[in-house]
Amino acid sequence: MRLLTVCFDTAEVAQAGGFAAALGCEFDAVVVSGHPVADGLAEALRPLTEGYTHIAAVSSMKSKDLMARLAGLLDAAMVTDVVAVTSPSVFQRPMVAGSILATVETLCSPVVATFRPAGFKGSAGAGKTTELVAAAGRATLVSETVRGGSRPDLSQAKVVVSGGRPLGDAETFERVIGGLADKLGGAAGATRAAVDSGIAPNELQVGQTGKIVAPDLYIAAGISGSTQHMAGIKDSKLIVAINKDPDAPIFESADLGLVADLFEAIPELQSKL
């Protein structure tokens, strides 16, 4: 049994060590560089998968886009968002916005999976690391705009400060949420309501249909706590909610709750940091 992990940066190679340890096998890594498009990348990866029983990547929008195509090329099934390994073919994964933990068995070989790193701790290094610059596929990336400046990547950040609909507009979101995130050296996140209203860019969406985060500290400001949002943050170590409604559902899941107007609480918090 041997695992090949597909990584989009070197931090993911370390996270793969935890997944390999849970599987009980050694692993090699392919680190993808450049700005590949999923279909060309899947084709380029296909020959590298030979001889591996498992091919996996850290769960992200990007990896799911890629691994689903790779599974198709390999005529394999794909298991997404694995949070625990029961056996080499049996895995646990959340369903229905995290309210159910399903045990799934894949009967295909190789096993193609994405995993949430929060569930897997380990420090084993990769046996072999290959760098891959993907060939062009049927689609070509014309340009890519990365917003959020030098802030850490949401999925990897130790601190995430997220804001919801009450932030009102993009300038206010950046000043209030971005300002606190910068002060704490963290990433900024947003609800889908904030994204849909044009308050925050799409790539900042956290939740069931956005990014899954697992920081040490998650600050949710002006966020009601919908099941879809909570599905993306439940692996956070400490959830702090700031909401002016004492009956907001987020207080049921938060470790610390502050009933306050975020426009007063955040500047005050910032002034004390």
Ligand X SMILES: Cc1cc2nc3c(=O)[nH]c(=O)nc-3n(C[C@H](O)[C@H](O)[C@H](O)COP(=O)(O)OP(=O)(O)OC[C@H]3O[C@@H](n4cnc5c(N)ncnc54)[C@H](O)[C@@H]3O)c2cc1C
CB of 245 to ligand X, least distance (A): 3
Distance from C-alpha of 169 to C-alpha of 183, rounded to nearest angstrom: 21
* 25-33, 112-120, 136-144, 201-209 -> range binding ligand X (CB under 6 A): 201-209
Show contacts with ligand X in window 72-101 (CB under 6 A).
Answer: none
- Provide the 10 A C-beta neighbour count for residue 206: 32
**Residues contacting residue 209 through CB under 8 Å, at least 6 positions apart:** 192, 228
Is residue 210 near ligand X by the rule CB under 6 A? yes
Distance from C-alpha of 31 to C-alpha of 140, rounded to nearest angstrom: 20
Is 93 or 192 the residue whose CB approaches ligand X more closely?
192
Among the listed residues 107, 87, 82, 112, the one whose alpha carbon sits nearest the alpha carbon of residue 3: 112
Is residue 229 near ligand X by the rule CB under 6 A? yes
* 30-38, 65-73, 78-86, 225-233 -> range binding ligand X (CB under 6 A): 225-233
Q: How many residues bind ligand X (CB under 6 A)?
A: 28
Q: Choose which of 48, 122, 263, 267 interacts with ligand X (CB under 6 A).
A: 263
Is 45 or 231 the residue whose CB approaches ligand X more closely?
231
Is residue 241 near ligand X by the rule CB under 6 A? no
Is 46 or 147 the residue whose CB approaches ligand X more closely?
147
Is 16 or 231 the residue whose CB approaches ligand X more closely?
231
CB of 260 to ligand X, least distance (A): 7
Note whether 228 and 97 are within 8 A (CB): yes
What's the token pair of residue 79?
A: 């298991």
Strands 54-58 and 100-105: unpaired
* 24-32, 39-47, 119-127, 199-207 -> range binding ligand X (CB under 6 A): 199-207
Q: Choose which of 191, 212, 215, 240 interacts with ligand X (CB under 6 A).
A: 191
Is residue 193 near ligand X by the rule CB under 6 A? yes
CB of 141 to ligand X, least distance (A): 24
Q: Choose which of 15, 59, 80, 243 interacts with ligand X (CB under 6 A).
A: 243
Show contacts with ligand X in window 142-181 (CB under 6 A).
Answer: 164-166
Contacts 24+ apart (CB under 8 A), 227-235: 227/97, 227/98, 227/99, 228/97, 228/192, 229/191, 229/192, 230/97, 230/98, 231/94, 231/97, 231/98, 231/207, 232/206, 232/207, 232/208, 233/160, 233/162, 233/206, 233/207, 234/98, 235/116, 235/118, 235/119
Note whether 213 and 160 are within 8 A (CB): yes
Residues found near ligand X in the complex (CB under 6 A): 164-166, 191-194, 205-210, 222-224, 226, 228-229, 232, 242-245, 248, 261-263
